A and B are shown apart, each in its own frame.
Chain A
Amino acid sequence: MAKFAFNLNGKKVSVEADPDTPLLWVLREKLGLTGPKYSCGIAVCGACAVHVNGEAAPSCNTPIMLIEGRNVTTIEGLSEDGSHPLQEAWIEEQVPQCGYCQSGMIMFAASLLNKNKKPNREEIAEGMNRVVCRCGTYLRVRKAIEKVIADNE
């Protein structure tokens, strides 16, 4: 066990864990931030996505030792009151069904729009391709992202 300090949703936190403990378990089970979800455990489905230094990244196989000193944002920290334009568009377009992948969807979408204010359809598909939704909400995910882009114009 060792101590690791990082910034989480704008606040300094420090946790004790084995260095190879995945960030996801630290967030969910030690720190109680259950927005990021466990689903595949091998970083191929995106349900566990958080922002690390502003960029969407899976947290399920990222060891906590690599997070030392970094800035981590989870869905809980994306906005103070769920009012990020993507979150509002998600409600407007009634995107979620079971909802389990949606934290990952929103975190990837936010990261995409941070890098590219006006992605086209292909760029949206490319940017969102790492998140799997079994309920099939992809159309509405795309619609919600396109709504935010249109609102920004």
Chain B
Amino acid sequence: METESKEKTNALISRRNFLKAGGGVAFAVAAYALLPELPVADGNAPGKGELVEQKIFAWVHLRTDGRITIYNPAAEMGQGSMTALPIILAEEMDADWSRVRIEHSPIEPQVYGRPGFGGGASMITVGSRAVSGYFDGLRIAGAQVRQMLLSNVAGKWKVPVAELTTEPSVVVHKASNRKISYGDIAEFMEIPESSPSVSLDQLKDPKDFRLIGNENVPRFDIPAKTNGSAQYSIDVRLPNMVYGVITRSPVYGSKPRLLNEKMIRSTAGILDVVVLEHGIGLIAETIEIALKAKDKLVIDWSEGAKAETHNSEMAPEEYERIAVDRNARGSSIESTGNVASAMKAAARTFSADYLNDHIYHAQMEPLNAVVSVAENGKSAEVWAGSQAHDSARASVAQALDLEIAQVKYNPQYLGGGFGRRSTSDYVVEAAELARVVKRPLKLIWTREDDIAYGMFRPMSLQRMEAGVDKTGNITAWKHTIVGTGSRLLASGARNDFYTFPNQEIELRSVDHGIRTKHWRGVAHGPNKFAIEAFIDEIAVVQKVDPYEFRRRHMKEFPRALNVLDTVAMMSDWKAKPKPGRAKGMAFGERSGSLCAGVCEISIIDGKIRVHHFWAALDAGIVVQPDNVIAQTEGCILMGLSSVLYESITIRNGRVIQSNFDDYQLLRMKDVPDSIDIKIIPSTEKPTGVGEAGLPVVGGAVANAFAALTGKRIRHMPFTADKVSRLLKESE
């Protein structure tokens, strides 16, 4: 099915031109045929009649009045890609930003994708990769547009292209003192059969950037997010629309048997009852009828699902056994040198275990989607907020036995993603219910559904062992990760910016049969916490300043060292904190970006209180500095929330927490007095910023706690209970 659809897309886009760019693929497409399919975001969208006259480029629509529409291929979940990606293109196009408007691109990965994990083109928005993944391609696309504008003017004025320059949205011929606006060029513009070739070395010198790195370019989506007009899929209302809800397996894998179907069906306003593999779906005329009936469902759930065996409170004991089991063999993440002999030769050895609980995404918009299936079942339309609009579209097509081209897809803003929305289960569910009712259907997960059937960042145990030589430097490093979720536990375990000559990093997986998922930063949170807290322990026991101790092992990595030194300076690391306060430091890399953080804490009413947080970030070229600061503030606050409060308990496979009353999140009262962030200036290629600030939080807080109390807090979250237990313990 997918192949057929690809062929269709190929036929549709006859002038496709792939350009190799920096190991990736940039797409420069004259896509006249695609544009009428564009989602109509507002009344200003072009009508079909206008399209014939206008010259169109797949990424850009330039109108004769000078307005420029740039299409954003990434999901907008709050991270700002919807603005950052068009800025990159507009920079090389030399577009007047005040005339640019942004729309979601069509969901066509062959045109708008970036090189995906499997080699194919993908539109998935994950791992903080939108800017880094599209950077070269969008610059080239922008430069191609500019090149086409220049050659059209050169032809018209009969001057060499080389004599032409641009100012924002204006082509200039200095020799004859002539200027023409992009809009005016659109009046006579001819788009060549094949796009002009532009190579990376023909692009702007970063010092000439007008938009990239400009602190005064605001985010496009923000005004609509201050007046209620920004549209999320949960806001979609369609004529004749009905509502869907589903009660899902309380233990993952158990199957439902509805015991009171007759009673439910006879409820006024209930249109249908749909038995699914993993739950009972209800379709109703109104959301309130659906929710009331949902409360009345009596379901017998099958027993014997694997997840029933999981009890998160008991799991650490099992993990400890596995961690010390000499016969256990996991998968190797890193193996350098000879750890066993280095441990033997060590002047001193250290070991400690660190733990983290399951945690929940808690995106503020509960999962939902709107799907409409045609009366004849031959086409469908979807409105969804997904981190993978392309696979959501393909999954709906598959669920409805349709071709991808038969599914019209309208990407919406996401009320938070954090990794949860890269799986499209909720969009497929909406399609499954909509197919039954043949009316537009809005499926809403209640918050309770969203938690009970959540996909969690998995709990894990990190057994850390190290040996130091006579000078106190780490020569042997062994990190054993035990937990569920397999590769979800691996990210961030490597030490790419410390020199540890002998290393073994190993993952020992236990399958609990529960739902686990990427969560902002994936395993960087747990792994960097363990690594950075352990380094701190080794330093402090040896009476070495933890900052100096890190520096010693970071000598070979000047960029990392600079980040560390910067945060030390920002936080006045060497200065003695006020009585009752202490500082802690941590370093981490994520998606290519380097971040170091310092926090200052105290303990107030038995709770850890974070007063200040400083962070330095090297993310290469930064497209939107203010947004990068906002992302880093967000990372630190979401990190603090997870480190101080968040925990999901699973007993016999059932999630114990049910809503935000028993799953505590950080609130305004917990916000530090200040968070200072410094972006290191750079002309290196951009790296990810959506997660980079988060992994340092656990280590920084734990290390500050140790500096303040002399006690090591080794199990996230650092709740008041744990703090009080630790403080009561005798030395």
Partner-B contacts on A (CB < 8 A): 17-18, 21-22, 25, 28-29, 32-42, 44-45, 47, 74-76, 78-79, 82, 87, 90-91, 94-103, 106, 121, 124-126, 128-142
Contact = CB atoms under 8 A, between A and B. Distances in A.
Given A96-B226, A103-B228, A34 B235 contact: yes
Nearest to A124: B668
Given A41-B446, A125-B671, A136-B634, A100 B416 contact: yes
Given A34-B228, A102-B225, A25 B364 contact: no
B80 interface: yes
Nearest to A77: B228
12 contacts: A25-B287, A35-B229, A37-B234, A42-B659, A87-B227, A98-B77, A98-B413, A100-B232, A100-B364, A100-B415, A129-B667, A139-B671
A94 B675 contact: no
Interface of B: 77-80, 218-219, 221-232, 234-235, 237, 243, 286-288, 362-366, 413-418, 444, 446-448, 626-627, 630-631, 633-638, 641, 659-661, 665-669, 671, 673, 675
A35 B227 contact: yes
A29 B238 CA distance: 10
A34 to B, nearest CB: 4
Chain A's interface: helix, strand, loop or mixed, by majority? Answer: loop
Contacts of B227: 35, 75-76, 78-79, 82, 87
A98 B228 contact: no
Nearest to B221: A99
A134 B638 contact: yes
B288 A25 contact: yes
A133 B418 CA distance: 13
Contacts, number: 175
B364 to A, nearest CB: 4
A93 B79 CA distance: 16
A3 B318 CA distance: 59
B697 to A, nearest CB: 11
A38 B237 CA distance: 15
Contact of B660 (A32, A45, A79, A128): A45
Closest 6 CB pairs of A and B: A35-B228, A98-B78, A136-B637, A99-B225, A100-B415, A97-B78
A99 B78 contact: yes
A98 B365 CA distance: 9
B633 A140 contact: yes
Given A32-B237, A35-B229, 19 more contacts: A17-B288, A33-B228, A35-B227, A37-B364, A76-B227, A76-B229, A94-B218, A94-B630, A96-B221, A98-B413, A99-B230, A101-B364, A121-B673, A135-B634, A137-B630, A137-B634, A141-B668, A142-B668, A142-B671
Nearest to B674: A139
Nearest to A47: B364
A136 B627 contact: no
